[in-house]
Amino acid sequence: MKTIGIDGRFYGEAGPGRYVKNIVTFLEKVDKDNKYIVFLRPKGIEEYKPSNPNFTKQIADYKWYSWGEQIGFLVRLLSNKLDLFYVPHFNFPVLYPGKLVTAIPDLIMHTYSTEKGTTLPKPYFRFKKFVYKLVVHLAVKRSFKVIVPSFDVLNDFLKVFPQYTRNKYIVAVEGVDPAFLNQEYSEEGINTKVEGNYLLYVSSMYEHKNVPRLVRAFKILRDKYKLDLKLVLAGKKDKYSLAVEDLVNSLGLQDYVLIPGNKAPVSDNESKYYRKHALLYVFPSLKEGFSLTPMEAQSFGLPCIISDIPVHREIYKDTVSYFDPGNEEDIAAKIAALLANQQLQKELIEKGLNHYKKFDWIKTAEITKSVFDDALKN
């Protein structure tokens, strides 16, 4: 029996933490042949309860993107004498000499700066950005295979790293987090309730998410199209969300645009509440690796209208409506048209409810296990 280590340090966190949680959960279901050690930080140690006897957990309290990750975590990995190390992200101890498989969700940080939102001194931030690009390159170079969530991301890798061939990469799509398939929620856990009709956006508000343009398009919906609506922007509090709040206030929309995450963290319970009662799900992102939140909205029976970008066309095809994410007038016009077209909304709801079921974490885990099997044989 071979021993596979999984870097599970994001377990229990938002974003990559959902990927870690689901891939570990479903690897437990599909792999009875190998032994696994899941390396976790304290939050993950508390939350993760292995259900497969071949899976054990081990503390690895090393902060992401830190020297502790590069030194302390490296020592921990070497002491376990792994046959394979799986990193469901890009950051790994670069001196690790063993066999490696990575799952990298996108190359967005190669394209979009996050400098506006950093609290670090600018020179130090730029140094960390340089290190990030170096670590990603080393991850790609060292990996037996790199698992990516879409062909659009695969094409990005081929452009950024032309020295590596198509065979370096394996596409394994994601699926809706099973936590959202149970759509019941508790009224007691809702910090910000919404009265009246509203549009919904759920995600962070980083630069590439294009939220300021959505806010300005929403003002057009109210002023030009005379629509009595609210907009709920459900994401984490950071410098980006605070800047969006400043924009909302400057446009006089503070009574109509709600940013609940700026008051208190938005729980899964709250996000279920927002999805259950929204009119439409709106997602204006300029770049995504897979774009899972529209699919989560589809599982709740929400018609979706999203940005017309390559990965959205690849994943969602005709199950959503599209707008030009660079044109506020077009965003507003397409949303207004969809709101006025009840028949199209019904069609999108039906298509969406069928569509999300085609994406399953079991398939993701099976593809991942096949990569592990190939790596261990090689």
pLDDT at 309 over 60: yes
CATH number of 3-175+360-377: 3.40.50.2000
For residue 283, the cross-strand partners are 306
Angle at which helix 361-377 crosses helix 16-30, to 10 degrees, equals: 70
Q: Which CATH architecture has domain 179-358?
A: 3-Layer(aba) Sandwich (3.40)
pLDDT tens per residue, range 311-369? 999 999 999 999 999 999 999 999 999 999 999 999 999 999 999 999 999 999 999 99
Residues 88, 102: Cα–Cα separation, whole Å: 6
pLDDT at 254 over 80: yes
Residue 302's SS3 state is: coil
Residues 274, 202: Cα–Cα separation, whole Å: 9
pLDDT at 188: 84
Residue 225's SS3 state is: coil
pLDDT tens per residue, range 72-102? 999 999 999 999 999 999 999 999 999 999 9
Q: Domain residues of the chain, as ranges?
A: 3-175+360-377, 179-358
C-alpha dihedral (324, 328, 334, 339), degrees to nearest 10: 140
3-175+360-377 and 179-358, same CATH topology: yes
State the DSSP H helix or E strand holding residue 366, giving kind and residue range, or none if neither. Answer: helix 361-377
pLDDT tens per residue, range 157-174? 999 999 999 999 999 999
pLDDT at 26 over 70: yes
Question: Which residues touch 289 (CB under 8 Å, ≥6 apart)?
Answer: 105, 106, 108, 148, 149, 150, 152, 153, 311
Residues 223, 23: Cα–Cα separation, whole Å: 45
For residue 148, the cross-strand partners are 171
pLDDT at 117 over 60: no
Q: Please report, rounded to a whole number, the percentage of residues in the chain having pLDDT higher than 90.
A: 87
| Cα radius of gyration (the chain) | 21
* Farthest CA pair distance, the chain: 66
